Structures are given as C-alpha cells and as structure tokens.
A and B are shown apart, each in its own frame.
Chain A
Amino acid sequence: MEKTMNLTLKVWRQTSANAKGHFETYKVENISGDSSFLEMMDILSEQLVEAGKEPVAFDHDCREGICGMCSMTINGIPHGPEKATTTCQLHMRHFHDGQTITIEPFRAKPFPVLKDLMVDRSAFDRIIQSGGFITARAGSGVDANAIPIPKKTADYAMDAAACIGCGACVAACPNASAMLFTGAKVSHMNSLPQGKAEKHRRALAMVTTMDGEGFGGCTNIGECEAACPKSISLDMIAQLNRDYATAQVKNFFQPVS
C-alpha cells in the first residue's frame, strides 16, 4: 500500500487587495506522496467547496515548472524547501505525516496581494517593456548563421534566459530587490552580439524602471539565488552592475538614448 499523510495547513486568506488578511487552519487527509503541492491544494479546495466555502485562490497554469505562474511561500521559503523547484513541481513526498505547513503569498511591496495567495507581479512586465528586448522588426533578421556566436556565449545567454519570471527572488529578498530578475534579463541580451547595440540603453532603462516600481537595492545577501527555481546565478547581478556602471559613465559624457 502506498503511504499517505495527514497534514495541518495554515493558509493566508485575504478576500481582496484592500482587505486585511489572516491565517486559517485546515486539515487535509490521505495525501499521496506522489501528489504535487498544487494537487494537495486542489484537494483542499474541493474540500472547502464541498462545505460551501470559497476555495483558496492561488496562481498556477503549466504545472510543469516553466510558466512561472505559481508562487506561494511555503514554510517561509518561496516555492518551498526543495532546491531549484517551483511550487507546482514540489511533491508531497518531501513532507511527512502529521506535519504543519504554513502557506503565504509572495510578500514584497511591489507585489501587492490580489486575493489569498495571488499577487500582482506586473511590475516585472513593466521592467521588460522599458528595455528588455532586442529591437528587430519581423522580417528584418539576417540569415541566422551570419553571425557565429561562440558556444560559450550562447550557453551563458541561455543560463540567463532560463529565468521564468516567477518573482521568488524578490519574495526571498529582505529588501524586495529585483536585481536577480533584471540581471538575468540584461545578461541574456547584453551578452549576445545582436543585443550589443542597445546594451547601455537597456541597462539604464531597466534599472530606472526597477527602482521606480519600488524594488529595493541589492545588499548581496544571496537569498534570491537560493530561492530561484531555475538556479539563476548571482553572477547575473554582477554583470548588471558592470553594465549599468559603464552605461552611466557613457551617459554622463554623451546621453545613450
């Protein structure tokens, strides 16, 4: 027989953005170790609905660790205790019978709570809109092999581009800094030859937007890297700092627009 577990859940409930939230305690039973954390939340939801109560609202979509939609802070850690794992890919076999699990939304000022465990992460989109792109109109690309890109460069760009934009880095950071997210995006594009033309403009614009959205500064604590479900490295922050510093100097002498 498969081993199942009974759990106590302390879940953050908040009816809307402006309402005051609080923890509620629920019990779920016979949870299979093969269930994902979100499947466990589904079971809780069905239980609540059957009792005529509103289910817990949480964000999710792909359930395979790639869309970046799921969030939740589980026992104090964004996406829970397993390293390099999103909440949807966290499986219940990592918990034990009788355990109490605390479940909260990602907490950070720039990510206001919408309801229960759902937060608004649109500030990330606005950072990208300000400069996180390479300007290349459809149809204007030259032959894809015209510019050879060393494998090492392509691999580095890919390491950076693996970011899923979930916001765990911000939720993990005591300053609610978005440097890992922004650093990853800037490193991805600035390291590629196609991205060089807009390199300085990109770094300046994205950092300005990031600051304007109310994300805090980076004080090199490293919680972001530890919480990142895609193991994005702190090197990306170093690269952003370098690119941003150069851009500022250039901008001082001749505005990079």
Chain B
Amino acid sequence: MNLDSKIPEGPLAEKWSSHKFNMKLVNPANRRKYHVIVVGSGLAGGAAAASLAEQGYKVSCFCYQDSPRRAHSIAAQGGINAAKNYQNDGDSVQRLFYDTVKGGDYRSREANVYRLAEVSADIIDQCVANGVPFAREYGGLLANRSFGGAQVSRTFYARGQTGQQLLLGAYAALSRQIGLGNVKMHNRHELLDVVKVEGHAKGIIVRNMVSGEVSRHAGDCVVLATGGYGNVFFLSTNAQGCNVTAAYRAHKRGAGFANPCYTQIHPTCIPVHGDKQSKLTLMSESLRNDGRVWTPMDAETAKQIREGRLDPNQLPEADRDYFLERKYPSFGNLAPRDISSRAAKEACDEGRGVAATGLGVFLDFRDAIKRDGQKAIEERYGNLFEMYRCITGDNPYETPMMIFPAVHYTMGGLWVDYNLESTIPGMFVGGEANFSDHGANRLGASALMQGLADGYFVLPYTVGNYLGEQGVAAAGKVTTDHPAFAEVEADVKARINKLLSINGTETPRSFHKRLGQIIWNQCGMARSKEGLEGAIRDLQELRKEFWSNLKVVGGADGINPELERAGRVADFIEFGELMCRDALMREESCGGHFRVEHQTEEGEALRDDENYAFVGVWEYLGDDVEPNLHKEPLIYENVKLATRSYK
C-alpha cells in the first residue's frame, strides 16, 4: 500500500496556492465529457457535486434519504469556524491552524490543516452569497461566538440550526444544477459496493431502496462523502441511516482505513433513559458557556438524588463538586470534549452520577439565570431548553439539566493524500468519511468547516486535476458493460440473498445492540489491552452468530428496512473489529483515544510522540485474515509538539 501523502513542496502558507497552480486544468469544452460519481449529499458531497457541475462536469449524486436536503449535516447545531477575525480578537489563519493541530492532539497532517484554515474564510463568503442567514449584529455585520474551548470568537452560527442552514445552502446550489440537468440525483439509493477497473475506481453498485433494483453506475472517478461511522456504537447522535457501508466496502476493495479508533465522545448529550432507546440527542456545547457542570461530592448524596429523595437545588454549595472548574481552572466548563467527557465518566464511575441510571452529571444554569436573568438565558438557549424539556419532560429553568457523554463524531476514516484521494486511484473521499484534518480529536465547529472546505474548495480542484491527468481520450471510456461491473454486481446480489436466506431467529436490531454494547464498553471512553482483546474475540463470535442466526423478514424487491439494517450491521460488526485492533495497536493515549495503561498520575492522557506520531492505516487482506498495518509518519515542521494542557 503506497502512502504517499503528496504534500506539495514549499513553505506551509504557500503550499496550497502553488499546488493549485501546478494542477492540471481541463479545458471547459471538454469537461462535459467526464462523468463524476458523487456519493453523499451532505455538506461535503452536496457542495462537491454542485461545484463540479458548475465547472461543467457531468455529475451523478447519490443519497439514501428521500431528498439530498436531509443528509445528517442538517443536524449540526452549534456553528462553523472561520479565521475571519471579524471580532478583532487576534484570530488568524495561523491561529486556527495551530488550534486545530493542538486540538487534534498532534495527530493530524500539518499541510491539510493549514489549507483548511486558509480556505475557511472563503466558505463564509460563499455561504452568505448562497443566502445562509447567519446571525447578525444590529449593525448588520456577522455575529460570532466562542465555541468548544477556543479563546477567540470565530464561530459563525444560524441560531441553533447552523448545519441545517449550511446544508440548505449547498442543497440549493445542488438543486440548481439538478434543474439545469448537470447533476442527476439518485435519492433513496444505497451504495453497496465500488467497482475498480485496472486499479482505478470507475463505478459503483447501488440498490434502489424503493424498487429493490440493484444497478451499476460507471464514471471517470468516484467521490465518497458518506459521513461518519458513529452508529457502530448503536446509540449515538447520528441519524438512523448513518453507516460505514460505503467506506467499508471501499476499504475491502483496497482503500486504506486510517485511525478507525479515533472517535469523539461528546460531553453534552441527554442521558440514556432505557433499553428501548434508538438514539441519543446532543445538546449544543454552547450551553457550557453559561452552564456549570457538577455532581454531588459523595456517592451517598448522588444516590439520594437518583432515587428522588433529594432535590438537587437544595444541595448546599459545599456539597457540590464542579469537577471541570476544579480540575481545569483556566478552561473550566469549556474544557475540550475528550477531556470533559472523561471527567464526567470518572465522576460516574465513582458512583457520583445522577439521572435514574447513574450515568449523568448536572449542567446547571442556576447561577447564570441569577446573574443575567432568565430572559437573557432564554434568548441564548431558548430552543435548546425547549428541546430538552420536550425529550425529558423536565424544565431546565427550574431543575438542572442532566447530561452524559455520547458518541458524536468519528475522526478516523478512509486514508487520503493531500488531494483527498484514497489509496484507490480515482477514488476521492471528503467530509467526515475521510480521516484528514482532525487528528485524534475534533474541535467544535470544525466539521462543518471541513465538509464545506472539501466540497466547495478542495475537491473541485483535485478531482479536475485527476481527470486532466487521465486525459480526455479516457473520458467516458469505461462503461457498465465492462466485466468488472458484472462481477461486483453478482457479489452484491449474492450477499443480499445470503442475508435473506439465513432464516435464523435474531433480528438485525438485536445484533446491532449487542455490537454497540461491546464497542461502547471496550472501545469507548476508556480502553485497555485486556478489554480490547476480549472485544475482538466477542466480535468474531458475534459475526459468526450473525451469519448463522440472522432473521430478515421480507424480500429483496421493494422497500425493506430490515434488509437495509442487516446489510449495515454486517459491515459494522467487521468494522468494529478493525476499530478494536487499531485501539489495541496504539499503545498511547491521545485525543479521543484513552488507553488506561497510558495515563499520568493525575489520570491525564499520556501521548507517546516518539513511537506513535503516525497515522495508522489498515489494509484489508481477507475476511478471516488479520489486516496489515501501514504507517504514515507525521512530521511537524511548523508546530512544536507539546503536552496538551488545559489546566
């Protein structure tokens, strides 16, 4: 596996512009001869499909929802970062770059992160031009807030619905191109495999989720922007359909998978209420700007609160432990996500958790309401408080909110070079589906930025460069008649038939839950050698059981949600094993990856830069063969590696 990151020569700040200059251009008249397949219509896929079509390429775009507007980017609440320095508070490309590398615990690639920071300002300009109604000040200029532990205010937002508004902007641009006939949109289609011809990605096999028809699509290259794999945990803040299938199928066809164990557990989600629950809901992190996180000092008091014998409001100050303020005095309640989540877990492990299950901590607005008045708090967080009330039935203006960490984002993903091209030539990967910019931990409001950077400003160049290199004579040469398509299509159909013919007794959902339990317990907030080794054995066992005792009702024709889930769970089970292997391999703690064997005396993460400053990239070798590990060394020329301290 060749891991040439193709980082351009030259000083950091000039890499992207000189690379753009050196890239091949395709003559405008020739562009329509090329066909680009884009899988995904979220910020990354939607923006890429629209921008490539604007440039003149013929594009086909796929999504599993009934409309491209419903991709899970829609659910992002908090905001999007950009180094505009509109607040005159010392922000710059350099600072956003530095914060992102540090936030990622020095496990990301400098050149990619710098480019991300560099194009961030263009993203905001583009979104405003598209009509995104960002929050504004009375003077008519854009408003910003500080978010997720940043010490400057660089986050742009649209109420608590930033993702929705950004996606609707990209969707509008995409819709325009669909209307013009430049993009052919395939809603309710699920990618089930990718097709390679002479080593290059030249097509995909999809299933029409309404008719059940399995079909082939050929293109001059393929862009995957299929989102993250958080649903491997069963419970997460992801949408129900979020899956690893697209990325994992590409992996099985030769794309290296990078850092699968890097997952982000978000500290402020609504606690689990019971075993019939289907998803977890995120409460925007912006709440930590005013809310104070605490649990009772001792386990006995916590128990009384859990059992409803004690009203938390009555608990005197001295009996409360504001653990983030205590442990991280300079960042306090705004400490980064990985650190805050772990601190909450520790408190609950000590028996000091609240909520009926003991898995919850308070996020208390009492002092903020006292200080600023209920009206001010309502203005800032009204919709979030309402959402909380709607879900839990509790009124957070009167009783403190309860929160608990939940899986939220996956930093790992398909390995890509500087051009966002995977180890399969001609297969590009954008957005959460790639591994590129966030290292071992993503900062708040940086995923939206990366999705749109990839979609609007990176892929349109690098995909064009690839097509230019292939030459116009190659354009449209591969068709679905090529035998490679028949072969992969046959594989896909055989797999569907196999899923339907096991005729066992256990449902896909039940397998999914069991998988989630294993991953959450052993590859969640704290990981150990012993636990991971056990998890790998359990997952292999689970895989066997799945393929011998699965029960899928209904058939292959037509709408069949059970079949859809079964296919996704099958991939998640295999992928879960890869996650655990990656976590086991990485004998250090960094960002979202915390190995209990590697911590300081105070319980903080202990990184090992000497031995682990690399990207771990896995090569698939067969279903029952251990995958091969490859390493891309991370070289820091501009940032000095330091211990990440938020004390």
**Which A positions have Cβ atoms within 8 angstroms of B?**
15-16, 32-36, 38-39, 42-43, 45-46, 48-50, 52-55, 57, 59-69, 85, 89, 91, 93, 114-115, 118, 120-122, 124-125, 128-145, 147-151, 154-155, 157-158, 161-162, 164-165, 188-189, 192, 194-195
Contact in complex: B276, A143 (CB < 8 Å): no
B609 within 8 Å of A by Cβ?
no
B602 to chain A, nearest CB (A): 36
- The segment from B46-54, B411-419, B522-530, B571-579 that touches chain A is B46-54
Cα–Cα, bound, A188→B240 (Å): 29
A155 to chain B, nearest CB (A): 8
Set of chain B residues within 8 Å of A121, measured between Cβ atoms: 66-67
Set of chain B residues within 8 Å of A118, measured between Cβ atoms: 559
B74 within 8 Å of A by Cβ?
yes
Set of chain B residues within 8 Å of A16, measured between Cβ atoms: 558
Contact in complex: A69, B178 (CB < 8 Å): no
B129 within 8 Å of A by Cβ?
yes
Contact in complex: B390, A64 (CB < 8 Å): no
Set of chain A residues within 8 Å of B507, measured between Cβ atoms: 46, 49-50
Set of chain A residues within 8 Å of B561, measured between Cβ atoms: 45, 55, 57
B165 to chain A, nearest CB (A): 6
Cα–Cα, bound, A189→B129 (Å): 11
Per the CB 8 Å criterion, the residue count for chain B at the interface is 80
A192 to chain B, nearest CB (A): 5
B208 to chain A, nearest CB (A): 12
A53, closest chain B residue (CB): B553
Tell me the chain B residues, 442-464 only, with Cβ under 8 Å from chain A. 456-457, 460
Contact in complex: B124, A91 (CB < 8 Å): no
Chain B 148-186: CB-based contact to A (< 8 A → 1; otherwise 0): 000000000011010111001001110110110000010
Cα–Cα, bound, A55→B562 (Å): 8
Contact in complex: B393, A93 (CB < 8 Å): yes
Contact in complex: A32, B457 (CB < 8 Å): no
B452, closest chain A residue (CB): A138
Cα–Cα, bound, A126→B80 (Å): 29
Cα–Cα, bound, A136→B128 (Å): 10
A205, closest chain B residue (CB): B179
Cα–Cα, bound, A132→B553 (Å): 41
A150, closest chain B residue (CB): B140
B134 within 8 Å of A by Cβ?
yes
Contact in complex: A138, B50 (CB < 8 Å): yes
Contact in complex: B559, A115 (CB < 8 Å): yes
Contact in complex: B133, A188 (CB < 8 Å): yes
Set of chain B residues within 8 Å of A66, measured between Cβ atoms: 74-75, 161, 163-164
Set of chain B residues within 8 Å of A158, measured between Cβ atoms: 133, 135, 158-159, 165
A185 to chain B, nearest CB (A): 9
B21 to chain A, nearest CB (A): 15
Contact in complex: B51, A85 (CB < 8 Å): no
Tell me the chain B residues, 225-268 only, with Cβ under 8 Å from chain A. 239-241
Contact in complex: B141, A148 (CB < 8 Å): yes
Set of chain A residues within 8 Å of B554, measured between Cβ atoms: 54
Cα–Cα, bound, A144→B158 (Å): 14
Set of chain B residues within 8 Å of A64, measured between Cβ atoms: 75, 279, 281-282, 387
Set of chain A residues within 8 Å of B185, measured between Cβ atoms: 125
Knowing A39-B276, A57-B559, A121-B67 are in contact, say whether A143-B172 is a contact too (CB < 8 A): no
**Which B positions have Cβ atoms within 8 angstroms of A?**
47, 50-51, 54, 65-70, 72, 74-75, 84, 86, 122, 124-131, 133-142, 158-159, 161, 163-165, 168, 171-173, 175-176, 178-179, 185, 187, 210, 239-241, 273-274, 276-279, 281-282, 387, 390-393, 456-457, 460, 507, 509-510, 551, 553-554, 558-559, 561-562
Contact in complex: A144, B278 (CB < 8 Å): no
Cα–Cα, bound, A68→B74 (Å): 10
Contact in complex: B173, A133 (CB < 8 Å): yes
Cα–Cα, bound, A142→B127 (Å): 10
A141's partner among B86, B125, B187 (CB-CB below 8 A) is B125
Set of chain B residues within 8 Å of A134, measured between Cβ atoms: 129-131, 172
Cα–Cα, bound, A194→B127 (Å): 11
B392's partner among A34, A115, A149 (CB-CB below 8 A) is A34
Set of chain A residues within 8 Å of B158, measured between Cβ atoms: 158, 161
B401 to chain A, nearest CB (A): 15
Contact in complex: A69, B66 (CB < 8 Å): yes
Contact in complex: A63, B240 (CB < 8 Å): yes
Contact in complex: B390, A142 (CB < 8 Å): no
Contact in complex: B135, A154 (CB < 8 Å): yes
Knowing A49-B553, A61-B65, A139-B122 are in contact, say whether A194-B140 is a contact too (CB < 8 A): no
A129's partner among B163, B164, B178, B558 (CB-CB below 8 A) is B178
A48 to chain B, nearest CB (A): 8
B249 to chain A, nearest CB (A): 21
Contact in complex: B390, A115 (CB < 8 Å): no
B366 to chain A, nearest CB (A): 24
19 contacts between A and B (CB under 8 A): A15-B558, A32-B274, A46-B510, A61-B70, A61-B240, A61-B241, A62-B240, A63-B240, A67-B65, A93-B393, A114-B559, A121-B66, A125-B178, A134-B172, A138-B51, A138-B460, A140-B126, A151-B136, A194-B130
Set of chain B residues within 8 Å of A65, measured between Cβ atoms: 387
Contact in complex: A60, B240 (CB < 8 Å): yes
Knowing A57-B561, A67-B70, A149-B136 are in contact, say whether A195-B131 is a contact too (CB < 8 A): yes
Cα–Cα, bound, A161→B127 (Å): 14
Q: Which of B50, B69, B133 has the most CB of A within 10 A?
A: B133
Set of chain B residues within 8 Å of A150, measured between Cβ atoms: 136, 138, 140
Set of chain A residues within 8 Å of B276, measured between Cβ atoms: 32, 35, 39, 42-43
Contact in complex: A68, B69 (CB < 8 Å): yes
Set of chain A residues within 8 Å of B393, measured between Cβ atoms: 33-34, 91, 93
A128's partner among B65, B171, B456, B559 (CB-CB below 8 A) is B171
Cα–Cα, bound, A68→B140 (Å): 30
Contact in complex: B175, A132 (CB < 8 Å): yes
Contact in complex: B559, A138 (CB < 8 Å): no
Knowing A38-B278, A136-B130, A151-B138 are in contact, say whether A122-B553 is a contact too (CB < 8 A): no
Contact in complex: A42, B509 (CB < 8 Å): yes
B128's partner among A137, A144, A188 (CB-CB below 8 A) is A144
Set of chain A residues within 8 Å of B163, measured between Cβ atoms: 66
B278's partner among A32, A42, A50, A139 (CB-CB below 8 A) is A42
Set of chain B residues within 8 Å of A60, measured between Cβ atoms: 240
Contact in complex: B274, A154 (CB < 8 Å): no
Set of chain A residues within 8 Å of B510, measured between Cβ atoms: 46
Set of chain A residues within 8 Å of B159, measured between Cβ atoms: 158, 162
Cα–Cα, bound, A162→B165 (Å): 8
Set of chain A residues within 8 Å of B141, measured between Cβ atoms: 145, 148
Set of chain A residues within 8 Å of B553, measured between Cβ atoms: 48-49, 52-55
Cα–Cα, bound, A59→B164 (Å): 19
Contact in complex: A34, B161 (CB < 8 Å): no
Set of chain B residues within 8 Å of A15, measured between Cβ atoms: 558
Cα–Cα, bound, A122→B68 (Å): 10
Contact in complex: A67, B72 (CB < 8 Å): yes
B168's partner among A141, A161, A192 (CB-CB below 8 A) is A161
B386, closest chain A residue (CB): A84
Contact in complex: B122, A69 (CB < 8 Å): no
Knowing A35-B276, A134-B172, A139-B122 are in contact, say whether A188-B131 is a contact too (CB < 8 A): yes
Q: Which of B141, B387, B561 has the most CB of A within 10 A?
A: B561
Contact in complex: B136, A154 (CB < 8 Å): yes
Contact in complex: B54, A138 (CB < 8 Å): yes
B172's partner among A53, A54, A132, A139 (CB-CB below 8 A) is A132
List of 9 A-B pairs having minimum Cβ-Cβ separation, nearest first: A148-B140, A141-B129, A141-B125, A129-B179, A133-B172, A136-B129, A157-B133, A144-B128, A138-B51
Contact in complex: A154, B65 (CB < 8 Å): no
Contact in complex: B179, A130 (CB < 8 Å): yes
B176's partner among A124, A129, A154, A192 (CB-CB below 8 A) is A129
Cα–Cα, bound, A99→B179 (Å): 47
A164, closest chain B residue (CB): B164
Contact in complex: B47, A138 (CB < 8 Å): yes
Contact in complex: B67, A192 (CB < 8 Å): no
List 7 additional A-B contacts (Cβ < 8 Å) besides A141-B122, A188-B131.
A125-B185, A128-B171, A128-B175, A132-B175, A144-B128, A154-B133, A192-B131
